[in-house]
Every structure is written in C-alpha cells, then in structure tokens.
Amino acid sequence: MSTRDKLSVIGKSRRRVDGASKVSGQTKFADDIVLPRMLHCKLLRSHLPHANIKNVDTSRAERHPGVKLVLTGNDFPNEYGILPVSQDERPLCKEKVRFVGDPVAAVIALDEFTAEEALQLIDVEYEELATIADPLEGLNTPEARLHEYSEEGNIHKRLSYEFGDVDDAIAKSEHVFEDIFFYEGCTHLPMEQHAAVGHIEADGRITLWSSTQCPHYVHRAISKALEIPTARIRVIATPNGGGFGGKTDPFNHEIVVIKAAMLLGRPVKIALTREEVFYCHRGRHPVLMKYRTGVDKDGKLTGMHLQTMLDGGAYGSYGVASTFYTCVLQPVTYHLPRYAFDACRVFTNKPPCGPKRGHGTVQPRFGQEVQMDKIAEKLKIDPADFRLGVIEQAGAMTANYLKIGSMGLAECINKVVERSDWKNKYGKLPKGKGIGIACSSYLTGAGNSIYWNAMPHSGVQLKLDRSGKVTVFCGATEIGQGSDDVLVGMVAEVLGLDPLMIRCVTGDTDLTPVDLGSYSSRVTLMMGNAAIQAAERARDLIAEAVSKKLGVPLERLVFADMRVFDTEDPELGLDFHKAVVCGEEMHGTLGTTGSYAPPEPPGKYKGSGVGPSPAYSYSAAVVELDIDELTGWVHVERVYIAHDLGKALNPVLSRGQVQGGVYMGLGEALMEEQTFQRLPPRLSNALVHKTPSMLEYKSLTAHDMPEVIIDLIEDPDENGPFGAKEAGQGPLTPIIPAVANAVYDAVGVRIDEVPITAEKILKALDKKARGGEGRVGPDKFPEIEWPEPYEVPPPWEGGDGDAVNKPKRKRAAKMHEMDKFKKAVSS
C-alpha cells in the first residue's frame, strides 16, 4: 500500500488548522484561563542591580487584607536552569539579587490589584555590591562575583578550538583581512506576555498551564526546583502568542505559582507585565567579534580565525550553547579549509541573555558577511560572484565536522541576483541609493538534546477509531509558527485525509509523547518524521484489514481522497471511515506511535555536540535602500530573499515565516537594541534597562516594512520529512549584513556595528568628510587569556573527528547540582 505519489496536502497552500480560532479570538492563551477560586500572583523584583539580601520582612504584606500568601527565597529548596551545566537560577532570590528585575518575593492575593499593593509592603534589606555593566568590566572585575561556579571571576565560560593550523594558512595567504564587529543585544518582543496558572488536583497532582515553548524542559525544572517526582506533574503549553526563543527557558514565575498553589490548595495565576517580559529576556547576546581571514590569489578562502565575546547577563540560561553558536556555523556556508575559534561569555548585572531566533549565529553571520563584502571589494570581484566561488558543497563535511545535506545556497544567490537586477544596480545606483547582498544558513534542529539521553527527540502518537476521526498527539508546542499545521499535514498526507478531519493535541506532558520543544527550528523535521512514522504504521494496520476484506493485494492499496482503494480498480475501495472500522475489527483498538532521533553527529571531540543538525537551511538576501546624506536617515525600499527550505509543506505559511524573519531582521539591523544605562556614579548605583516598554523599545511598524519579494527554493534534504528543512529562523540572518552592505554601496561608509542608525551613518560620513576612515564600529578586541585549544584536524587533513590533544579544563564547579537533580527525580 502507499500514499499516492502526487502529494495532495503537502506543498499546497491551505488555511492553517488553527487559523480560524486565532482570527476569531477563540484561541485560549495562558492568560485566558480562569479557574474557580483562582488567586493572583505578583512578584517583587529587585530595584538594585547587584546586592546581597540581608533580610526580607513580609509581615506587613501578610497582614494586608486580601493577601493569602507571601513567598520568599527561603520557600524554595533547589536551583534550576535550562542547561545541566548552568543550574544557577532560583524561583525567588535567596542570598543575592543580580539585576534590576530579579525576583525576591511573591505575593498571592485575591486579585492582581491587591497583590500589587502588598508588594509595596515587603521590606527588603539589601547590601549593595559593585556592578558590572558590560563584559569588558566583567573581565577586569573578578569581584564581586555573580556566580561562584563561573570559570574564573566573572568569566562564565571560555572555549578554544582549532581545526587545522589556521595561523599557518593565514600566514601563507595572499590577502589577510582583520575586522572587528559589534552586535548589540536585542529581545524577542512577542505580542503575548508570559503567563502561567498553577493548579493542584484533588489527588495532589500538579498542573501548570504556561505560555512556554518547551513544556518538557519546564516539566523537568519544576521537578528539580520543588523536589516533586515528574510523574506527579503535568505541564500544558498553551498556544504561545509568539515565542522567538523568549519562552524556551523554565521561568521563576512558573515555579512560584505551582508552589503557591500547593501551599494554598487553590489555583494561582500570574500574568507578567511588558516590563517583566523585558526582565525575563533570554534574548540576543551582545557580541563583540574579531575575524582574521585569509584569501588566496584566486579568491578562495584559506582559513578563518574567529574570536567572540558575549555579554551574558546575570545567569547561565542557554549561554554555554549560545557561546558555541557564535562560532560553529561559520563553515557551513563557504568552504573554510582551516578554521579556529575562541569564545568567551561574561556575566553582567543585566537580565540574562539566551536564544533568540537564529540563536547565537546571527551576530557572527553579520560580521562574516560584511567581511565577505569587504574582501570582494578589495579583490575587485562582484560580491555575489565572490560568494558563489567559495560556496560549500552539498553533502560536504566541514572543517569542524558538520555534515551538510542538501545545499541550495547557489540557487538562492542566483535567484536574488536575478530578481533584484543586481548586475545592473550594484555599484551603479545614484549616490544615496545602495544595494547589498548577504547569505546565511541555519540548523534544522539541534543534533543533541539539552540534556544527554539516548531517547527520541520527538514522539507522535495516533489514535483512530470507529468514528473515523484521527487524533494525533505530540508534545510539540504551537507558538504561532504553524507546528500544529505541520503535524496535521503530515498525517493527512500519509492517510489521504483532509487536514480539517484530524484533531491534534499538542504540548501536554500528560497526554502527549515527549517532544523537546519549539526551539532550534527542530519541530518540522523531528516531529514531522515522527508523525510520518506513526501515520505509516497506522496506514499499514488499516491496509492489512482492508486488503483482507476486499481481497486486494496490499501493494495495490492506495490511501487518498479520504478513501482506501485499489490502484488498478479505483472503484473498488472503502471510504476512510469504513476502512478504520475494518482495522478496528481486525486489530482491536487502533493506535500507533512514531519517533525521531537525529543521526549520530560525526564529530567526536568534546564540544562537538553543538552545531550538528540533520539538515541546514540556506538563504540569500538583497536589500535596496536610500540614505539621506545630510542626516544619515535610512529608508529601506525593497528586500529580495530566497530561502532554501528543502520543501515548502504549506507554502503560504512558509512565506509567512520568511516574511516574519525579514521583518525581525530589519528591526535588528535598523533600530532594535536592549541597552542599559548607569547614572552618574557619585549620585547613584543604578543600572537600568533604558527602554523596557513596547513604545520605547523600537521595532518596525507596518509603515516601516518595505516591499518583500520572496522566493522559496526547494532543495529537498533526505533527512527532512518530504525533504523539508526549516524556515522559521534562517531567513532573518542575511537581512542584517545585507543592510550594512547596502549602506556601504549607497554612501561609502562601513557601519560595523548593529543597529545601523542614522546617527552612526552621519558620524561615519562626518569622519569620511574630514579625511578619516568612513567607519563606525569597535576598534579593538580585548586581550583574553584563552585556554589551550582542542586541536581537531579537519577531515581532509587525516582527522577522524576527535581532538589529537587533551587540553586541561576546569571541571564546572557545580556539577554536584546534577547529582542532586538525579536524586530528586528518582526519589
């Protein structure tokens, strides 16, 4: 039996399965949940950037009418954190606060208003500490230390890797390019603020509804933080009103409402304000980066040495992974015969940084792609042709042992070049008008889980019964990206059904098999493959019964058009409903499962776990803009983008994802910045977020969006479901360097720093007019004491994927936390 060769659901633009409920306002987000006897929670957050907590007196707040409970750090036994190596967060701070916004106490009251009133009645005695505002200060200020477990002083983590002798390669190069770039931090800005409801059932079991991208990781964190076995906890991810990586960490407020619900025996809700979302953050790290790249006389890259320094904020979060991601994906776009990187993350007294759309790779791609533009100019090669000449090959293994599958970058470049009439525009537009090109690549799912295990990354379960209805269950989380639609689409295609006949149940740790969550662009590929497996197994069961009933050989049965029929005699068959009845008669109750785990990554060296992916997506973008030379004012006129996503499963959604990426990329390129400020030190120790509001944190409005011309390039990857790769994150990345390169084409100045504002362009134009270098950007990368690098010879230099040396590393000080966790979970 088979699914018909011609696809009937996949590849067709159709209304997404959750579309009607979203546009008609029926989708229930976390803050829409109202339960009988529900109480409301507010958090008291630190107004100091760094301080020891001497005492918390809650007595006045407890006496306030309507207040049911006040919690402090003493009410919580354990630390938690998303990465096993960074178990450094507490639901409420106990000994110290590390940034303005760090939660210290919680009030649970009859209503939100009363809870907020009572916050003012909590008396906290602090002892102020010196603050660290940026990583340079962090490097030079080992005390006061934010975390005892950091590698050294306030340096959270340092990495050093060498894939071949890069110094030698660069030394022998015809040209050497050395460039330093800075990428300012920015935040996700989802429309929905985080919200959560904790509820204890009569039998004592715990339920949490939360706007989270990763219910499975929240499930584990709750278990650890509160010492409750995972079997007694249920986490339900409500549909997210946008995530973009901002809801991938377990959050303090989620654990607080559960604890409160346990103590009070009543449901407890928390709904964060926009300011609080800025304090949750986990957004893009500010990154300083230095590139040293060698190019031979034929215009081929000989090697690259990249150094990055990340401003981590106050906690670990995904930071160690982010640090790797600022370096590992450089070799997947252009062939680098030798590659080395050093990276360093520093703690600062600001909200913790983490993963934002394009996790850790957006910043270094900006630097790399602007440097590519500079190289092409020096070599007098068209930047598009230069890129085409050094592109990595499909199926290649990179110097750092990433296995590439399908690779449509050349087609992407050719497409945007053709669409934008690049050849007639680049370098030829009137002064003030400019055009720029850039490329990128991104993972389709991280090759490894956040915590080491040998289990599937995604599981799907299928239930079919005599009603003819199919229900598909998966732990994946709908965050607006369309994952429910992908899930249903896969099953519909395999079983020959209309997607609207299938109900999906997702993101519920009690009802659905584990999926690791909506992060790293993993859902379409991993959940998709699991769904196909489950659906094919169901198809086989039904086919067996139908074959027997109709006397048609198995191999002649086809599932299509909501029927199961004989390919040779299409009249002979059953409608799907009857076919399921047949199946249930033969096999009893029907149900199947499917699961997916990514292929074993080829790298064996320590740290090789970050970067591998079952498939890499590719994008190329061209930006056309206009600059007013008297003010530096930028007006983006058009964006052309081609994105290789393997296969567009539902093209209208794919285009939406690409367009959304362009939107977010332009915001980061032109205006978004999460920045902080001090006040004059003689008057104040303050260190505050400059713009914690949707009004003053600037992201594009509809008026600011240029015309976007999108081409979907379909270069199917054998690891992808129906060949599909990701579209959610990759298309953001090329936009930022393409803007920078277009600015240079327009007015001849280099803005090696994001965001690219009118102020910076005018400053660069002024410098140029005075005869200086027409550039704004960082001038130096600090001296950092790097550890001895892992030396891993690239595949073409006889490497086997492992390091040939054994550099000494300090063991992370808090590994015992992991042991505590294991104990807590097993008890």
Partner 1 sequence: MMRLPRFQYYAPRDIAEAAQILNSEGSDAMVVAGGTDLIPNMKRKQQMPKTLIALRKIDSLRQLTNGSGLNMGAGLSLTELVRNDKIKSDYAGLWQAAAQVATPHLRNMGTLGGNICLDTRCSYYDQNYEWRKAINYCMKKEGEVCWVSTGSKRCLATSSTDTAPALISLGAKVRLTSADEERELLLADLYQDDGIDYLMRRANEIVTEVILPDSNNWRSTYWKLRRRGSFDFPVLSVAAAASMAKDGSIEQARIVLGAVSSQPLVCEKVDEFLQGKKLSDEVIEEASLLCGKVARPVKNTDFNPAWRKRAIIRIATYALQELRGDDMSEQRLKIARHIL
Nearer to partner 1, 671 or 712 (CB): 671
Shortest separation between residue 116's beta carbon and partner 1, angstroms = 6
Q: Does the bond joining 755 to the residue before it have cis omega, within 30 degrees of 0? A: yes
Q: How far is the CB of 113 from partner 1 (least distance, A)?
A: 5
Q: How many CA atoms does the CB half-sphere of 755 hold within 13 Å?
A: 24
Dist. CA 402–CA 400, nearest whole Å: 6
Q: Residue type for 392, please?
A: E
Q: Smallest distance from the beta carbon of 757 to partner 1, in angstroms?
A: 8
Of 770, 116, 736, whose CA–CA distance to 365 is shortest?
Answer: 736
User: How many CB atoms neighbour CB 645 within 10 A?
Assistant: 32
The residue (of 393 and 631) whose beta carbon lies closer to partner 1 is 631
Q: Tokens at residue 87, please? A: 């178990």
Tell me the closest approach of the beta carbon of residue 56 to partner 1, in angstroms: 16
CA distance 152 to 404: 36
- Host H or E run for residue 595: strand 590-596
Between CA 99 and CA 610 the distance in angstroms is: 29
453 token code pair: 């295990």
* Least distance in angstroms from the C-beta of 326 to partner 1: 28
Residue pointed to by tokens 């998709």: 528
- Pairing status of strand 676-678 against strand 687-689: antiparallel
How does DSSP classify residue 710?
E
Give least dist CB 31 to partner 1, A: 9
Contact 719/405 with Cβ under 8 angstroms? yes
| Closest C-alpha among 666, 721, 672, 665 to residue 696 | 672
Closer by beta carbon to partner 1, 124 or else 645? 124
Of 49 and 607, nearer to partner 1 (C-beta) is 49
Q: Write b or e for each residue in 193-224: b if 16 or more Cβ atoms lie within 10 A of its Cβ, otherwise e.
A: bbbbbbbbeeeeebbbbbbbbbbbbbbbbbbb
Which positions lie near partner 1, rule CB under 8 A?
A: 45, 47-49, 100, 112-113, 116, 193, 271, 273, 275, 626, 628, 630-633, 635, 671, 679-680, 683-684, 686, 688-693, 695-696, 698, 700-704, 758-759, 762
Q: How far from the centroid of its chain's Cα atoms is residue 544's Cα?
A: 42
Quick one: 125 or 275, whose CB is closer to partner 1? 275
Report, in Å, the least distance between residue 769 CB and partner 1.
13
User: Looking at beta carbons only, is 114 or 238 nearer to partner 1?
Assistant: 114
Q: How far is the CB of 735 from partner 1 (least distance, A)?
A: 17
Comparing CB distances to partner 1, the nearer of 399 and 762 is 762
Minimum gap (Å) between residue 751 Cβ and partner 1 = 14
CA–CA distance, 217 with 546 (Å, rounded to integer): 42
Nearer CB in complex with partner 1: 700/708: 700
CB 375 → partner 1: shortest distance, Å? 31
Residue among 562 and 686 whose Cβ is closer to partner 1: 686
Which one, 454 or 630, has the nearer CB to partner 1? 630
Contact 394, 333 (CB under 8 A): no
C-alpha distances (whole Å) from 336 to each of 68, 297, 382, 392, 429 are: 62, 15, 20, 8, 33
Cβ nearer to partner 1, comparing 671 with 710: 671
Q: How far apart are CA 780 and CA 288, in angstroms?
A: 9
Question: What are the CA-CA distances from residue 381 to residues 377, 568, 620 (Å)?
Answer: 6, 58, 18
| Backbone CA torsion sign across 241, 246, 250, 256 | negative
Residue of 405, 444, 654, 407 lying closest to 529 (CA atoms): 444
Tokens of 179: 């460039």
| Nearest distance, CB of residue 132 and partner 1, angstroms | 16
480: left (phi over 0), alpha (psi -120 to 50) or beta: left
Specify the DSSP element, H or E, that contains 277: helix 274-280
Q: What is the CA radius of gyration of the chain?
A: 27
Closest distance of CB 271 from partner 1, Å = 6
The residue among 45 and 156 lying less far from partner 1, judged by its C-beta, is: 45
| Shortest Cβ 46–partner 1 spacing (Å) | 8
- Find the DSSP H helices in 551-698: 576-587, 651-670
The least distance separating partner 1 from the CB of residue 53, rounded to whole angstroms, comes to: 16
Nearer to partner 1, 228 or 625 (CB): 625
Give the whole-angstrom CA distance, residue 10 versus residue 648: 8
**For partner 1, the closer CB: 621 or 761:** 761
